Structure 1
Amino acid sequence: MSKPSQQVSRDLKPVLGAFSLWGIAVGLVISGEYFGWSYGWASAGTLGFLVATTFVAVMYTSFIFSFTELSTSIPHAGGPFAYARRAFGPTGGFIAGYATLVEFVFAPPAISLAIGAYLNVQYPALDPKVAALGAYVIFITLNALGVGIAAMFELIVTLLAVGELLVFAGVVAPGWSMANFVANGWAGESTFTMATWAGIFASIPFAIWFFLAIEGAAMAAEEAKDPKRTIPIAYITGILTLVALAFLVMIMAGGVGDWRQLSNINDPLPQAMKVVVGENSGWLHMLVWIGLFGLVASFHGIILGYSRQMYALARAGYLPAYFAAVHPRFKTPVRALVGGGVVGVLAVFSDQFITIGGQPLTANIVTMAVLGALVMYIVSMASLFKLRAAEPGLQRPYKAPFYPVLPAIALVFGLVCLGALVYFNPIITGLFLGLMAVAWVYFALTSGQRDAAPADEMLGTAK
């Protein structure tokens, strides 16, 4: 089949440097240090969750050092979709694109609810869902005004959020004790038993939440200046920053009192600080207000990520061309921004009609986003191996160190995490597969749409 005569138009503006990309990479994730992860304590305990987090940190570090090879070799707004499409053709592109969309569209609702929970500490009469809706309106608008403005805002709030986590650790340190941290630390028991393993594996999705979405910086590749140099700097410094912060926050929060009181809530850090300084302390109010910057950084950054993924999929014919439109003045994919926001808002309000497994809505949304992420990680590492074999001449400005060991660790650990998540979350897995089946029907019926899409040399020749 002949390729379309027109070439893909790269309408996004390349304005981002290494520091801005670091801000996006860390900002995408940093809300994971503020909430979400503490649900892992409910099943694994502090010590069991420490084991799970160590396992996941090794996986993510190996993954990022390997994923950077793909993002610099194929600097495309589609990120994982582009790598899988080039490696495995249209079906590979579909699987990676679907999984990435699930991750990036379902993560913001969870974060927006946490924003509502943090605001509710200050304003008890404020409905967290109304606050979540307001967050969507504000930050979709900010993203629409241009990537330069969005990236500068992201960098500022990320720096504030990192600083606030360091302040949190310092303020609670006087009330911290090892005895509190280890009490009932093995899945609610004082000693490790074989049953503890089940709790550790069940907590893996919440350990992943510490690092989820760092790969989204790759979707800003077409907006990066000199991506072959700036992306490796941003990714490697970003993952090291996040690993250090994850262990710092988890350990300090777990040792200030009864950690079980923090294991099923959306605002564990303010509640942990309250134990040490009291609920009327200025430190607590500072944490609530400045802590919002961590949530806002991730919320804002992931909105940028999902919009670029939708834009790239639409540009390639995997989604309706409607979502590939770029604003003529601001050069941002406004329709993709709004489209993903509509899905997110529906998810925020869905618990009025749908209950899954008796778990809090946030826990279910986190699990759904993590499931999409794991599928995408596995496909990305498989793409790395396939492209190394099939395209040895592909320009690789950055090569994964210790190849093939690091990508193999990321791939195997990813499979273990996926197996654990599927085993402990059959209903969410069924929902993920059901949505995937619906998406596959659309994919199968729209081959003509992909044939008509502009040729894109970064994606290979198969449509």
Structure 2
Amino acid sequence: MSSDQTAALKKVLKPIHLWAIAVGLVISGEYFGWNYGWGVSGTIGFLVATVVVTIMYVTFIFSFTELTTSIPQAGGPFAYSHRAFGWWGGLIAGYATLVEFLITPPAIAFALGSYTHFLYPSIPILYTAFACYVIFIGINLLGIKESATFSLVVTLLAVVELLVYIGIVAPHFSYETFVKEPMPFGWQGVFAALPFAIWFYLAIEGVAMVAEEVENPKKTISLGYIYGILTLVILAMAVMIFTGGVAHWSVLSSIDYPLPAALGIVLGRDSGLTHLFASLGLFGLIASFHGTIIGYSRQIFALARSGFLPSFLGKVNPRFQTPHWALFAGGLIGCIALCLGTTDQVIILAALGAVVMYIISMAALFVLRKKEPELERPFTVPLFPYFPAIALVISIICLISIVYYNPVLSLWFFGILLFMFIAFIVSGKYKNL
């Protein structure tokens, strides 16, 4: 890390800020994306998948917090796995995290385009998505970072909006509607729905990337993570269940704006409240979009700085002190993904990167417990080894399921990883890492 970069990292974040970052990174997942799970599993099938994934995330976050507080470095999972396994562990974790944070923004950009199109049908979805990249990369290039206070305000707004939404649709909830065709694809559908359930919580681990900027990380990180995951569990369950009782799942299972559409059914599409909700919903999506752009740029920068990516990607703009090449490279990949993929495909690929990272992170936790028993652990995972073991096993089940139901996307994901492995070994670069 350069001295300029070190000087820029101020330890100012408190538990409330970490809660805001954790929830803000993820909250767009409550607004869209999860509903594609209904299309492959029905309401009850998706509820089962969500309960399983929720157990995975709760046990994972408690376990991951031990790693983040023990090794509070901006590289996050890359730093833990590199320390536990050496260069190959760092490569797998870095690649998986990078895929997750590069592929998540295009999915959110699709939703931003869809919400805007819902409000103004004359504006094409893809144009809005591209414009989001240009605007927020531009903001990041100028060094105007999303302040912790701004994160807090936008996240609170998004949480309150979801609570208002639940309050409006709850009186219209119909149990008969919710259980109609509950598991049309049987237990197979439950496994196929796992990546869409992951979308409810995906990217919460991004808090690890600001670990170096946390005031009193020994205590603060654990509080931020735990309050964050509890907030998201409550919101995810409430949004999914109440929305499922408003209309048959097939009506809302293939669109990028399920909540405004559900309000349109309850209040009428032309209702002022429906339009107001869709307008405010953009703030929740913007918070997550901007957060994931910061996430991918920091991850590219950290990997380049450590020698895992071309060195020019680890350079900082001399005027604005921002990782400009990392921002451009990630934006280019995101725009290509917008052109080539659909929202459901993008979500599946992001979930694939996430579960691979979860698996190697939990493995790193077990290895570091043995390899470095004297390492200072300000927060230790409760019920060790059961919590990390549960997170590891469910992550492996999710990985097998995603690969089984999405062989082509999985082939691309693991093919690129294999190519990188071979390139590192043939070039001899791994010896210096």
Question: So what's the TM-score if we normalise by structure 1?
Answer: 0.89
SS at match of 1:323: helix
Matched residue type, 1:139:
F
Q: 1:441 to 1:130 in 2, by over 3 A?
A: farther
Identify unmatched segments of 5+ residues in structure 1.
Answer: 1-5, 188-194, 352-360, 452-462
Aligned-partner Cα distance in 2 for 1:335–1:150? 22
Q: CA deviation at 1:140?
A: 1.9
Provide the rounded CA distance (Å) in 2 between the counterparts of 1:395 and 1:51.
Answer: 38
Unmatched tracts of structure 2, length 5 or more: none
Distance 2:20 2:349 in 1: 25
- Residue 3 of structure 2 is aligned to residue 13 of structure 1: no
How far apart, in 1, do the equivalents of 2:149 and 2:335 lie? 26
What SS class does the counterpart of residue 74 from structure 2 fall into? coil
Q: State the percentage of identical aligned residues.
A: 54
- Alpha-carbon contact 2:117-2:125 (below 8 Å) kept: yes
Q: Indicate the residue corresponding to 2:356 in structure 1.
A: 375
- 1:185 and 2:182 correspond: yes
2:220 matched residue in structure 1: 230
Deviations, residues 235-279 of structure 1 (Å, cap 9, x unaligned): 010000100000010011110122210001111101111110001
How has the CA–CA distance of structure 1 residues 147 and 416 changed in structure 2, closer, same or farther, with 3 Å as cutoff? farther
Find 1:61's aligned residue among 48, 58, 62: 58
**Per-residue CA shift, 1:306-352, capped at 9, x if unaligned?**
1111111111111112122234465432321222111101111125x
Structure 2 partner of 1:281: 271
**Residues 189-338 of structure 1 aligned to structure 2 (within 5 Å):** 196-328=186-318, 330-338=320-328
Deviation, 1:11, is 4.8
- Once residues 222 and 141 of structure 2 are traced to their aligned partners in structure 1, the CA distance between those partners, rounded to angstroms, is 27
Aligned length: 431
| Counterpart position of 2:76 | 79
Matching of residue 129 in structure 1 with residue 126 in structure 2: yes
Residue 385 of structure 2 is aligned with which of 371, 382, 404?
Answer: 404
Contact 1:180 1:254 in 2 (8 A): yes
**4+ residue segments displaced more than 6 Å:** 6-9
Amino acid at match of 2:257: D
* RMSD after superposition: 1.9
1:365 aligns with 2:355: no
Give the Cα–Cα distance (whole angstroms) in 2 for the partners of residues 402 and 299 of structure 1. Answer: 35
> Who is 1:391 aligned against?
372
Q: Partners in 2 of 1:95 and 1:237 — Cα distance?
A: 29
The reply to whether residue 425 of structure 1 matches residue 406 of structure 2 is yes
The answer on whether the counterparts of 2:107 and 2:343 sit within 8 Å (CA) in structure 1 is yes
Query: What displacement does 1:442 show?
Result: 3.9
Task: Map 1:415-454 onto structure 2 (within 5 A).
Answer: 415-444=396-425, 447-448=428-429, 451=432
Give CA-to-partner distance per residue, 1:259-301, whole Å, 9 cap, x none.
Answer: 2100011111011111100011111011111111111111111
CA distance in 2, matches of 1:448, 1:259: 51
> In structure 2, what is the Cα distance between the partners aligned to 1:434 and 1:368?
13
1:49 aligned partner: 46
Deviation at 1:67, TM superposition (A): 0.1
Cα separation, 2, equivalents of 1:70 and 1:292 = 33
- Tell me which of 67, 70, 73 is aligned to 1:70: 67
Distance 2:7 2:93 in 1: 23
For 1:7 and 1:331, how far apart are their aligned partners in 2? 11
TM-score, normalised to structure 2, is 0.95
Letter in 2 for 1:244: I
Please name the residue that 2:138 is paired with. Answer: 141
